[in-house]
Structure 1
């Protein structure tokens, strides 16, 4: 069984008909990521991570007694869903500060999928971004576990 595709007066299949099917296929990965994030965000809004033990305990905190760079991230998401931005920053400043960057990267990726043109940052940009992110995580992890940076602890 074949599907009939719209044709132009010169009997060529329209690009729009072909592109609409492939566009939806290329948008599946961003849609899946966005859907997963939405479900996780709703779960964190409904089940408050501020309540002791509601989501378990961070393994780094449990085994080593240290706050990892992610500690407070669940509470920060809950605070953001309740529009408490200052509380979210108090829970995990690094997470809140990186949200605009995460939104930008997701937006560029999604737009590239929509247009059918993959967004591929240069190797140099990718390397520097990764190194900067790792350095920020390390500095943040150290600072929030020393007395001078105790205000960064969740």
Structure 2
């Protein structure tokens, strides 16, 4: 196996994960510096504007802002899916960077069909529940 056909390893392999990390850190910094709790600071959710229903991401920017201020309780109150999502993406990124270093991975996340259905089902269930009177505690605070 020559150098052209072998997998990229080591520091060179971390260029893509480093770019993804830079984008994530930049987004967190922006959300920390420009508070989304101020009405209209990032625009409006089109689904909420048209239907009055909360989408699965409504409150997500506020939740990330709360996370940057280390207020996990407020983040959970803004959007209960964001905290585990940020944690899962962080773990996935660390594992991906390790696999890239060893030359064994090209993509950060690969979902099999069952996992895809579970994720989509969770998003649909969360959206439905947060838009009902008995699930209103999941609506953005």
Give, in whole Å, the separation in 1 of the partners of 2:24 and 2:107.
23
Aligned partner of 1:9 in structure 2 is none
Q: Give the alignment partner of residue 26 of structure 1, picking from 13, 29, 46.
A: 13
Kindly indicate whether residue 51 of structure 2 is the aligned counterpart of residue 64 of structure 1. yes
Deviation, structure 1 residue 29? 1.1
Superposition pairs for residues 1-154 of structure 1, below 5 Å? 22-118=9-105, 126-154=112-140
- Structure 2 alignment gaps of length 5 or more: 1-7
State the SS of the aligned residue for 1:27.
helix
Which digits, 9 at most, give the CA deviation of each residue in 1:45-88, with x for residues without a partner? Answer: 00000000111101111111110000011000000111111000
Q: 2:9, 2:100 within 8 Å by CA — same for their partners in 1?
A: no
Give, in whole Å, the separation in 1 of the partners of 2:105 and 2:32.
33
Give, in whole Å, the separation in 2 of the partners of 1:48 and 1:120.
32
Shift of the 76–145 alpha-carbon distance from structure 1 to 2, 3 Å rule, reads: same
Give, in whole Å, the separation in 1 of the partners of 2:61 and 2:131.
19
Q: 1:108, 1:119 within 8 Å by CA — same for their partners in 2?
A: no
Shift of the 153–29 alpha-carbon distance from structure 1 to 2, 3 Å rule, reads: same
Give, in whole Å, the separation in 1 of the partners of 2:107 and 2:11.
20
Q: Which one has the largest radius of gyration?
A: 1
- Structure 1 alignment gaps of length 5 or more: 1-20
Q: CA RMSD in A?
A: 2.3
Q: How many residues align?
A: 134
